[in-house]
C-alpha cells in the first residue's frame, strides 16, 4: 500500500482518482428545501461487472464520514477501503457475482458536490451558500446516478448507520427500483440524543475562529481543532463502554504513573486525540455540518403523519435488518421500530440483533455473525432474483 497522494483541496479542484459524472444539467435535482440544484458531480466507485440483463447491482451506502472508496485504497489516507472486509471476490458482497456501486453522498467532500466545491455562480467555494440537504436529497441524487448507469432496479441496497437511513429511504420512495434492502445499525429517525450529540459537534466546529463563518476556504484557513473535537466526541458514541474498557481500561500511555498534568496520560486520551487529528486531513468541516444536519432532519414517520408503516405501504422489497446489542447510538429498539412497521404492512422482513460489545462501529468490523447473516440473506435473495 502506498502512502497518500492527494489532499482534500486537490479533490475539491477535481484531482481525484476514480469515477465522476456530472448530473442535473438539463433536469436539476429538486431539493427538499425547495431549491433546484444542478449541475452537480457525483463521484463513485464500482467493483465487479454488470450482467447482461443489468440485474446484479448492489448499491452500498456510506455513513457520515465514509466515502465511495468502500473497497479500495483511500486517496488521502492511503488506507484500505472502509468496507474492504465485506466487498470483494468471494466476500460477503461478492464482486465475482455482483456489480457493486458506492457513491460519495451529496454534500460530501470526496468528489461529489458539497460545500467545499466551487459554486459555478461565484467561482468560489460554496461554503454556507451550499443548500441544506436531506437524506432524501442524497438518495434522489443516487437515483440519477443509477439512471446514468442504465440500471432500472438495484438487486440490493445496503449500508450501516447513515447508510441504513439511505437504504430505508430507497425502499420507501423507490421501492420498485430495489429488490432487497439491508439497513444495518440504523434508525427511522434521529432521536433527541442523536441530535444533541450532533449539535455539540457542530458547535465545536463553529466555535473555532478558523471556521470564519463557514468561509475558511476562501480565507486560507481551516477549523482543525474544532473539527477534531467534534470527531473525538462522535467517536465515543461509535464505541461501547465495554469496548472502550476492553481496548483501553485505565491503562497509561507509555508511562509508569500519572504525570499530574494535562498531557494524554491515559491511552484512551491518546487514542481519541489521534482520531481527532487524523480526521481533519480527510474531511471537510462544512461537509460535517451539512451531513450531520441531513441526519438530524431524517424522520420517516414524521413524513407520513407519524405512522411509520405508511412509509412502506404495499412494499415488495425483501428486508434484512441488523442491529448490535451494544450500539447505544442507534440501539436495537430503533431497528425494531422499523421491523414492527414493516410487519404492520405485511412486508417480507427478517431481523437479527447481533450480540457484540463492539458498539455502533461493529458494522465496520470483523464481526463473524454479521458476515454470516448478510451472506445468508444475500444468497437467498439472489436465488429469488434468479441470479446464480
Binding residues for its own copies, per CB under 8 A?
Answer: 32-33, 128, 131-132, 189-193, 195-197, 199-200, 202-204, 206-209, 225-226, 228-229, 232-233, 236, 239, 241, 244-245, 247-250, 258, 260-262, 264-266, 268-269, 272-273, 276, 289, 293, 296-297, 299, 302, 328, 331
- Which C-beta is closer to its own copies: that of 250 or that of 383? 250
Helix runs in the chain, H state only: 8-12, 135-148, 162-173, 192-207, 224-238, 241-247, 267-279, 285-297, 332-344, 368-385
Beta carbon nearer to its own copies, 38 or 131: 131
Name the phi and psi angles at 184, rounded to 5. Answer: -115, 130
Smallest gap from Cβ 280 to its own copies, in A, equals 12
**Least distance from its own copies to the Cβ atom of residue 249, Å:** 6
Considering only CA atoms, which of 201, 281, 205 is closest in space to residue 235?
A: 201
Q: Position of cell 477534531?
A: 228
Q: Whose CA is closest to 40, among 118, 101, 102, 100?
A: 118
Q: Residue 241 and residue 206: Cα distance in Å, rounded? A: 28
Q: Which residues are catalytic?
A: 161, 327, 360
299 vs 369 by CB, closer to its own copies: 299
Question: Smallest distance from the beta carbon of 172 to its own copies, in angstroms?
Answer: 18
Output the CA angle 255-271-287, nearest 5 degrees: 155
Closest alpha carbon to 224 in 279, 272, 287, 293: 279
Ramachandran sector of residue 125 (left: φ over 0; alpha: ψ -120 to 50; beta: rest): beta
**In terms of CB distance, is 70 or 280 closer to its own copies?**
280
What are residue 43's DSSP bridge partners? 20
CB of 361 to its own copies, least distance (A): 14
- Strands of the sheet with 57-61, listed across from one edge: 19-23, 40-47, 99-103, 57-61, 154-160, 178-184, 318-324, 348-354
Shorter beta-carbon distance to its own copies: residue 131 or 183: 131
For the CB of residue 347, give the shortest distance to its own copies in the complex, in Å: 24
Contact 182, 166 (CB under 8 A): no
Amino acid at each position: 500500500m502506498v502512502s497518500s497522494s492527494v489532499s482534500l483541496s486537490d479533490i475539491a479542484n477535481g484531482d481525484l482518482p476514480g469515477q465522476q459524472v456530472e448530473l442535473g444539467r438539463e433536469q436539476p435535482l429538486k431539493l427538499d428545501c425547495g431549491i433546484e440544484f444542478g449541475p452537480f458531480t457525483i463521484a463513485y466507485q464500482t467493483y465487479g461487472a454488470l450482467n447482461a440483463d443489468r440485474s446484479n447491482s448492489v448499491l452500498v451506502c456510506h455513513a457520515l464520514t465514509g466515502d465511495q472508496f468502500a473497497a479500495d485504497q483511500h486517496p488521502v489516507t492511503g488506507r484500505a477501503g472502509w468496507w474492504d472486509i465485506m466487498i470483494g471476490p468471494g466476500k460477503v458482497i461478492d464482486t465475482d457475482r455482483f456489480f457493486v456501486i458506492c457513491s460519495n453522498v451529496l454534500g460530501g467532500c470526496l468528489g461529489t458536490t458539497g460545500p467545499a466545491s466551487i459554486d459555478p455562480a461565484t467561482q468560489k467555494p460554496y461554503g454556507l451558500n451550499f443548500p441544506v440537504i436531506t437524506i432524501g436529497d442524497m438518495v434522489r441524487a443516487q437515483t440519477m446516478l443509477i439512471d446514468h448507469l442504465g440500471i432500472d432496479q438495484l438487486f440490493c441496497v445496503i449500508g450501516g448507520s447513515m447508510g441504513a437511513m439511505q437504504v430505508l429511504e430507497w425502499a420507501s420512495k423507490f421501492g420498485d427500483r430495489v429488490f432487497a434492502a439491508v439497513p444495518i445499525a440504523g434508525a427511522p429517525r434521529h432521536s433527541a440524543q442523536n441530535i444533541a450529540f450532533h449539535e455539540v459537534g457542530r458547535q465545536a466546529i463553529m466555535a473555532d475562529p478558523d471556521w470564519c463563518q463557514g468561509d475558511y476556504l476562501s480565507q486560507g484557513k481551516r477549523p482543525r481543532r474544532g473539527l477534531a473535537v467534534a470527531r473525538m466526541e462522535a467517536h465515543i458514541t461509535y464505541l461501547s463502554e465495554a469496548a472502550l474498557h476492553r481496548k483501553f481500561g485505565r491503562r497509561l500511555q507509555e508511562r509508569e504513573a500519572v504525570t499530574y498534568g494535562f498531557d494524554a496520560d491515559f491511552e484512551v486520551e491518546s487514542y481519541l486525540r489521534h482520531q481527532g487529528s487524523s480526521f481533519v486531513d480527510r474531511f471537510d468541516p462544512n461537509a460535517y455540518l451539512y451531513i450531520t444536519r441531513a441526519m438530524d432532519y431524517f424522520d420517516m414517520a414524521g413524513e407520513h403523519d407519524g405512522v411509520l408503516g405508511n412509509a412502506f405501504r404495499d412494499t415488495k422489497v425483501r428486508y434484512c435488518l441488523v442491529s448490535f446489542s451494544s450500539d447505544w447510538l442507534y440501539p436495537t429498539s430503533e431497528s425494531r421500530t422499523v421491523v414492527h412497521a414493516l410487519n404492520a404492512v405485511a412486508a417480507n422482513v427478517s431481523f437479527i440483533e447481533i450480540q457484540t460489545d463492539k458498539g455502533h462501529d461493529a458494522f465496520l468490523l470483523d464481526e463473524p455473525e454479521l458476515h454470516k447473516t448478510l451472506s445468508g440473506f444475500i444468497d437467498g435473495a439472489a436465488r429469488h432474483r434468479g441470479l446464480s
